[in-house]
Chain A
Amino acid sequence: MTQPRPEPAAKPAADARPRSNHYRELLWHTLARQILLYFLPLLLLAAFFHFQYRRLIGESQRAHLMVLAEQQANTLDLFLRERLVNLGNLANDPQFARNATSPQHLAAALANLRRTSEAFVDLGVVDGEGNLVAYEGPVRFAGPISYASEAWFKRIAAESDVSIITDVYLGLRGQPHFTIAVKRQTAAGSLIVRSALSPDALHQYLKSLEGAREVNTLVVNADGAFQLVTGRIDAPSASAAVLPPREPRRGTLDPTGGGSMDSWAYAWLRETPWALVVHEIPGSGATRALLGRQSWILVFTVAFFFGMGVVIVIRARQIVGKQIAAERHEQELSGQLAHAAKLASVGELAAGIAHEVNNPLAIIAEEVGLLKDMMDPALGGRISPPDLQEHLDIIQDAVFRCRDITRKLLTFVRKTDIKIEPHRVEKILDDVINGMLGSELLLGNVEIIKHYDDDPRTVMTDRNQLVQVFLNLVKNAFDAMPQGGVLTVETRHRDKDMVVVVRDTGCGMTAEQVKRAFLPFFTTKPPGKGTGLGLSVSASILKNFGGNIYVESAPGQGTQFTIELPYAMPD
């Protein structure tokens, strides 16, 4: 025996929920799908370009800063070298060496220096032991001054013919300054000329450099202590937040980490172990232009997405509208199909019922004829009231028989609304077998065996439609057994559903026929006898009830239909 699980023959009936709900659900579904389809890749692309753009901006910004830092470092180097050269020229001047201790001379020299740069604050001459031998400047010393313990003096004392630039320190005056010193060997011993330079001047100088407006500039020494600060970075403090690495000699810094828009660049000076660090003032210059462009891009992207959203919504509404229309059309078609099938099976039934009606009609005709005969003098013409009564009773019986048959036909044909009520399936089976086809089955020598489950549980279903299903199956079974046979009807109750089995001992079906059994318009009956709709409509009815129908058959071995019917209708 083959055991196919046929595809549902007809589409399950459309959603019974209100159309607007169904419409909204469909719309959301379509929208979600479209957005996923179009928005997601676009969004990913936009995000990708956004980050790429930011990265590029950051890179170009850092490159720009690095160039700036290098330029400023070079300029600062140049400035410091000039000051050293100024001081060196002074030290090399034999006339100066000779009159080094003369205050007038020293004052004139300082004035000369200050003409080259405002940065020179004072001028001092130090001997080989570190004692300040002559001084010209704003400080009035109370006693003799020795630099012997100063770090810069120790460094300069160890060598000859050197120049030195100190870090910025508060020094004796309590004013931040740094010292440059030049040592020359003369006949009279070491001559060390030192001068304090004001960082303010340096500061002003740095601020006047090209591109300085876009950035904060700071100078840190090798230990990371601030030397000079311009702009709005935190006030000078002992140690800076940033200490650039010694190698490479120039580069970019990312003190906050993680690709923020805060960019730093540095370059080490050559003259002294200072690093010049530039920090772009956020929202200034080039960055602002680039960022501005980016915000425009953002606006355009949002506008584009909005436009696409509108298009998608309009399109989705169109699609859903079309789908709803198609569904409604399909629903109508399926309704028409079901009705056609019903009419067709009514037609088949009508043939059977005509026979049922004609028999009592024939009785009536004969009885009436007989009564007439009895009253006919030519034929004898004698009738007694009891006789008359008997014949009239027979006629009445026959008339009521006719009425019962037509009533059954009407129950079947009458267009009734679908009423989902609890029904005992066994009762419906009995009604179908006894009421509608009993006499026909009897005539065809079909024995009927019923194996009903005792379980009294009912099924929520529409009686008329279920009757149609059973009628189709029983009729098919009957048609498959023209020579008579056994029709077995079984019911079994299970947890969530019940099983109805309709089995015949008829001619059976080939595997090919079994495969196509539930297809609409497929029939094994001769042309004009069957419509081929019975099983397909039965399958679709059962699908609507959340049930299923299977067929097992083999040629000559009969056919078994198995129905699974849940106790409750699906939502």
Chain B
Amino acid sequence: MRPTIKLLIVDDESRFLHAIAARLRLRGFEVITACSGAEALELADRHTFHVALVDLKMPGLDGGQVLQALKQRQPFVEAIILTGHGVLESAVEMSKVGAFACLPKPYELDLLLLTLKQAYVVRLKRRFAAHPEIVERVDAIACDDNVIDVLARLRELEDGSAGS
């Protein structure tokens, strides 16, 4: 079985959570969902995630706080903030606390997948910043248009390079 990309999705809208999780699972991601920031951080103690999708406005911990806490636990995780608010303001604010991107709801799935790919590429580049040859290979793979395929190959690359 091919290694999968492990996603954490945090949103207080459970129906949204279920739908997006189902769709991403169909596309080969391993998805773990959380209904609140607190639950997400609890999960983060038990799982290592590659990329996190976090809703901005939530009761309790909001997206920004979850993101910061998550980054403390897992420095290489990349986070994409989902928001129903105006994107620009949130994006500026969130990039300050280390979000990779802000995605306005509702979005096209292709855009989400593309953003996931880019986020994963960035994760790999940060993780293997000391290995230029790996970064080069990441760039080469990322050129391809088929996002699912690219992600699968990159995932394999990460596992294969982990030891080096």
Chain A residues within CB distance 8 Å of chain B: 351, 354-359, 361-367, 369-370, 373, 379-380, 391, 394, 397-398, 442-443, 445
Contacts and interface: CB of A to CB of B under 8 A. Distances in A.
B62 to A, nearest CB: 8
B114 to A, nearest CB: 15
Contact of B13 (A351, A363, A369): A363
Given A359-B16, A363-B15, A365-B106, A354 B26 contact: no
B105 A361 contact: yes
B156 to A, nearest CB: 21
Contacts of B82: 362
A362 B86 contact: no
Given A370-B22, A370-B23, A364 B106 contact: yes
26 contacts: A351-B85, A351-B86, A354-B84, A355-B84, A355-B85, A356-B84, A358-B85, A359-B105, A362-B105, A362-B106, A362-B107, A363-B13, A364-B106, A365-B108, A366-B19, A366-B20, A369-B23, A369-B109, A370-B19, A370-B23, A394-B19, A397-B15, A398-B15, A443-B58, A443-B59, A443-B62
Given A362-B82, A445-B59, 8 more contacts: A362-B105, A363-B13, A366-B16, A366-B106, A369-B23, A369-B109, A443-B62, A445-B60
Contact of A443 (B19, B23, B57, B109): B57
Interface in B94-124: 104-109
B80 to A, nearest CB: 14
Mostly, the A contact residues are helix
A367 B15 CA distance: 9
Contacts of A397: 15
A379 B104 contact: no
**In the complex, the 8 A-B pairs of residues with the closest C-beta atoms, listed nearest first:** A358-B84, A366-B19, A362-B105, A365-B106, A355-B84, A362-B106, A361-B106, A358-B105
A482 to B, nearest CB: 10
B2 interface: no
Contacts of A358: 83-85, 104-106
Contacts of A365: 105-108
B46 interface: no
A366 B23 contact: yes
Contacts of A355: 57, 83-85
Which among B13, B15, B22 has the greatest number of chain A C-beta atoms within 10 A? Answer: B15
Contact of B84 (A362, A367, A442): A362
A442 B12 CA distance: 12
Given A358-B84, A364-B106, A369 B19 contact: yes
Interface of B: 13, 15-16, 19-20, 22-23, 26-27, 57-60, 62, 82-86, 104-109
A437 B46 CA distance: 37
B84 A359 contact: yes
Contact of B59 (A351, A370, A398, A442): A442
Which among A366, A370, A379, A391 has the greatest number of chain B C-beta atoms within 10 A? Answer: A366
Which among B26, B62, B107 has the greatest number of chain A C-beta atoms within 10 A? Answer: B26
Nearest to A356: B84
A325 to B, nearest CB: 44
A347 to B, nearest CB: 12
B13 A354 contact: no
Nearest to A365: B106
Contacts of B105: 358-359, 361-362, 365
Contacts of A362: 13, 16, 82, 84, 105-107
Contacts of A445: 59-60
Contacts of A373: 22-23, 26
A358 B27 CA distance: 24
A398 to B, nearest CB: 8
Nearest to B86: A351
A529 to B, nearest CB: 10
Which among B62, B84, B104 has the greatest number of chain A C-beta atoms within 10 A? Answer: B84
